[in-house]
Structure 1
Amino acid sequence: MKRQIIDKIKQYETIIVHRHVRPDPDAYGSQMGLAELIRANYPEKKVYTVGEHDESLSFLAQPEQIDDAVFEGALIIATDTANTERIDDQRYTMGDFLIKIDHHPNDDAYGNLLWVDTNASSCSEMIYELYEEAKDYANWQMSDASARLLFAGIVGDTGRFLFPSASAKTFETAGQLIQYDFDRNQVFDGMYEMERKLLNLQGYIYQHFMMDENGMAYIKLPTEVLEQFDATPSETSLLVGSLGNVKNIRAWVMFIEENDTIRVRLRSKGPVINGLAKKYNGGGHPLASGATAHSWEEVEQVIVDLKEICQNV
């Protein structure tokens, strides 16, 4: 499969790399890291990264704005995106050939060619694995720019190597990547430094979250609370893991109001929660998923369902 992907990359002169909406470091890391890898090894090719930019990830990179005409005859690669609904920039359908590279459960087997590895800690780890194959098969070289992005993606999706998804292979990959010339401190600062307003919001979360006897916890962040702390819904992504520090917590959910919907961010230390995410228009990993609720009444049902999961495990 990896060699087929490498062959397709060799074949096309224009390559456009997509990732999922509401990006996280692994979305940018895998998307931009792959693009930099291709540019380093095929400088004559036209390589673009697309999707709506998230300012909180500006320290990593920024996608390009391209015209519809660029998609004609192009190879499209979607990284870190489980289903077509979540591909950022739906013009991916205008390309000539579509490749899916992902580490989420393969519920939507889209693409003309797909490589899915649910055992990978991150899609960025998979891109490094693709490089390892191409190093011998097609004489690829790793670039400093790509190594930096892939390292950031791995760090992000493993919670600084704290999550169970961080395997021996993950640590070996990270060990290879840090041999390249980039500033690890700059990467960590960009990922984990927070403005004072977000630290204040984090204090609000610790003061107001609810937790039951089974270790199920939740916090609601309606628009008026976000406005109180001058925080945007996307900025709250830095705070999702906060409740993981609470003793005896087993699974938690953060509800963030955004326009006419409510983001549902689910995390767990054991109970599998991606089935619950699917029930509410989402999906993801067994211990880290996202979904969408359309009312605060629906939020109450999510809480009931998560309580049931924790009671039965």
Structure 2
Amino acid sequence: MYEKIKELIEAHPTVIIHRHVRPDPDALGSQLGLKKILEDAYPEKKILAVGEEDPYFHFLGSMDTVKEEDYRGAVVIVNDTANQERVDGDKYESGSALIKIDHHPVVDEYGDIQWVESDASSTSEMIYVLVREIKEWSFSKEAARLLYAGIIGDTGRFLFPSTTERTFEAASELIKYDFDRPHLYDSLYKTSLRLARLKGYILQHITVSEEGHAVIPLPKDVLKKFGIDPLETSQLVGVPGDIEGILSWVFFVEEDKEIRVRFRSKGPVINKLAEKYSGGGHAMAAGARAADWKETEMIEKELQTLCKEYTKQKLESSSSY
């Protein structure tokens, strides 16, 4: 697989790297980290990164201006994106070849080469492995910084169950490149006063059902009151995770044309539920979309049922011993 990816990249003069919409540190870290690695390995090639800019993540890097003609004769790589609907940029299929590199459970099978490892902690970890296996490629300090950012972002600073021995191996190798880790942590986890106040609002208004599910609705008027852009709410999705009694929770964030749905879980598998509502993701972290508040009520009921069934299965399993 590694050699096939290398051969396809070497066969094309231009490499264009996409990732998913509404990027997180792993999407950007794997995208921009791979870009830097390929720029160092192939200075004669044009290496481009595509996607909407997110001001919050400017410290990781910026996107390139890509023209339609750039896709002619190019190999396109899509990182960290399980389904085509979530690819940021509509021209990713316009190149001569397409490579998918992802760590989510398979939703869409697309690309001439599909490298998917659903047990990897992050796509950034996969890029680390790719470079480790291709001896002609190497890390720079900047590439190491970007991949490390992606790994700590998708592992919750190594707290999530997806963290493995290989994850720690990757991290231990990447920090040898002497980038400014304290600054990186500060940039990734800084919280504005506006967000801190919204966090207080969430904690004051959250309710937990007997089944262990929690719902956090954030309508436009609440976001306006605290001066929060809907995109910024992604920084608070983990807040309910430390509350006793919560098995799974969902944020409903009202945007202009739809309601963004963000699931998290400490047991019940929620990515299949997300797929029912134009979304997807991991077993314990997923996203979806709802057309209106009525549809969010349906989602809430299904999440409640998932938690109830999960608790029932746990009880039956423990009683069998």
Deviation at 1:172, TM superposition (A): 1.0
Partner residue of 1:248 out of 225, 245, 250: 245
Q: What residue in structure 2 maps to residue 233 of structure 1?
A: 230
Deviation at 1:94, TM superposition (A): 1.3
Query: Residue 272 of structure 1 aligns to a residue in which SS?
Result: coil
Alignment of 1:287 with 2:289, yes or no, is no
Q: What residue in structure 2 maps to residue 48 of structure 1?
A: 48
String of CA shifts for 1:82-136, please: whole Å, max 9, x gaps: 011111001112111000000011121100111000010000000000001112x
Task: Name stretches of at least 5 consecutive residues in structure 2 with no aligned partner.
Answer: 311-321
Return the letter of the residue paired with 2:156. Answer: G
Q: What residue in structure 1 maps to residue 166 of structure 2?
A: 169
Deviation at 1:181, TM superposition (A): 2.5
**Distance in structure 1 (CA, Å) of the matches to 2:6 and 2:219:** 46
Q: What residue in structure 1 maps to residue 35 of structure 2?
A: 35
Query: Residue 90 of structure 1 aligns to a residue in which SS?
Result: coil
Return the letter of the residue paired with 1:108. Answer: D
Q: What residue in structure 1 maps to residue 317 of structure 2?
A: none
Task: Name stretches of at least 5 consecutive residues in structure 1 with no aligned partner.
Answer: none
> Which segment is superposed worse, 179-188 or 111-120?
179-188
Q: Summarize the alignment of residues 11-26 of structure 1 with structure 2, pairs less than 5 Å apart.
A: 11-26=11-26
Identity of aligned residues (%): 51
Query: Residue 52 of structure 1 aligns to a residue in which SS?
Result: coil
Alignment of 1:180 with 2:177, yes or no, is yes
**Distance in structure 1 (CA, Å) of the matches to 2:3 and 2:287:** 32
Query: Residue 178 of structure 1 aligns to a residue in which SS?
Result: helix
Kindly tell me the number of residue pairs found equivalent between the two proteins. 310
Q: What residue in structure 1 maps to residue 318 of structure 2?
A: none
Deviation at 1:213, TM superposition (A): 1.5
Query: Residue 93 of structure 1 aligns to a residue in which SS?
Result: coil
**Distance in structure 2 (CA, Å) of the matches to 1:177 and 1:213:** 44
Query: Residue 176 of structure 2 aligns to a residue in which SS?
Result: coil
Query: Residue 170 of structure 1 aligns to a residue in which SS?
Result: helix
String of CA shifts for 1:187-234, please: whole Å, max 9, x gaps: 111110011000000111101112111221110000100000000011
Query: Residue 59 of structure 1 aligns to a residue in which SS?
Result: helix
Q: Summarize the alignment of residues 127-138 of structure 1 with structure 2, pairs less than 5 Å apart.
A: 127-135=127-135
TM-score (norm. length: structure 2) = 0.95
Alignment of 1:312 with 2:312, yes or no, is no
Are the equivalent residues in 1 in contact too, given 2:124–2:148 (CA < 8 A)? Answer: yes
Deviation at 1:248, TM superposition (A): 2.0
Q: What residue in structure 2 maps to residue 106 of structure 1?
A: 106
Query: Residue 171 of structure 1 aligns to a residue in which SS?
Result: helix
TM-score (norm. length: structure 1) = 0.98
Query: Residue 278 of structure 1 aligns to a residue in which SS?
Result: helix
Query: Residue 225 of structure 1 aligns to a residue in which SS?
Result: helix
**Distance in structure 2 (CA, Å) of the matches to 1:163 and 1:197:** 27
**Distance in structure 1 (CA, Å) of the matches to 2:165 and 2:214:** 31
Deviation at 1:241, TM superposition (A): 0.5
String of CA shifts for 1:59-82, please: whole Å, max 9, x gaps: 111111121111111110000000
Q: Summarize the alignment of residues 1-150 of structure 1 with structure 2, pairs less than 5 Å apart.
A: 1-135=1-135, 139-150=136-147
Deviation at 1:269, TM superposition (A): 0.6
String of CA shifts for 1:260-285, please: whole Å, max 9, x gaps: 10000000011100010001110000
Once superposed, what is the RMSD of the aligned Cα atoms? 0.8
Query: Residue 58 of structure 1 aligns to a residue in which SS?
Result: helix
Return the letter of the residue paired with 2:72. Answer: E
Are the equivalent residues in 1 in contact too, given 2:208–2:245 (CA < 8 A)? Answer: no
Alignment of 1:297 with 2:288, yes or no, is no
Return the letter of the residue paired with 2:57. Answer: L
Return the letter of the residue paired with 1:96. Answer: S
Return the letter of the residue paired with 1:247. Answer: E
**Distance in structure 1 (CA, Å) of the matches to 2:288 and 2:67:** 31
Partner residue of 1:200 out of 177, 197, 200: 197
**Distance in structure 2 (CA, Å) of the matches to 1:274 and 1:115:** 20
Deviation at 1:242, TM superposition (A): 0.6
